[in-house]
């Protein structure tokens, strides 16, 4: 096991449980759309905010989740599984910090993580 994966904030069982929780939320969101009902952001409150609290509790950078949370506010775009995608991107960035630094550098942020030096 590479050294960078052993320092991950997310264990495999946690990733499976949280991803399942988020997929259920995405399915509820799509089912409400299919029957012609509006969720009045209740699905976002019930599934999005617990995810943010969980990421805060774990001490993980949830930049991808925050971006996808705001994309959920766009009508019809919010019916896509953005919360799940954002969480999986956050897990990927946590497990592969070199790739995460490359993405943030390409995005225009020259110093993505403050150094203690």
Nearest to 97 by CA among 73, 117, 116, 113: 113
Low-confidence ranges of the chain (pLDDT < 50): 1, 3-5, 117
pLDDT of residue 24: 95
pLDDT digits over 73-103, tens only? 888 888 899 999 999 988 988 888 887 777 7
pTM of the model: 0.77
Q: Where are the domains of the chain?
A: 9-106
Q: What is the pLDDT of residue 100?
A: 73
Q: Measured between alpha carbons, how far is 63 from 104 in angstroms, rounded to an integer?
A: 10
CA distances from 100 to 16, 26, 103, 108 (A): 21, 26, 5, 13
């Amino acid at each position: 096991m590479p050294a960078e994966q052993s320092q991950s904030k997310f264990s495999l069982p946690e990733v499976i449980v949280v991803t399942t929780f988020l997929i259920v939320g995405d399915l509820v969101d799509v089912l409400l759309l299919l029957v012609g009902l509006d969720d009045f952001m209740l699905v976002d409150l019930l599934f999005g905010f617990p995810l943010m609290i969980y990421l805060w509790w774990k001490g993980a950078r949830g930049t991808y989740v925050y971006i996808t949370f705001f994309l959920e506010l766009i009508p019809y775009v919010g019916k896509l599984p953005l919360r799940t995608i954002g969480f999986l991107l956050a897990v990927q960035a946590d497990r592969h910090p070199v790739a995460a630094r490359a993405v943030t550098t390409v995005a225009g942020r020259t110093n993505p993580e403050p150094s203690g030096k």
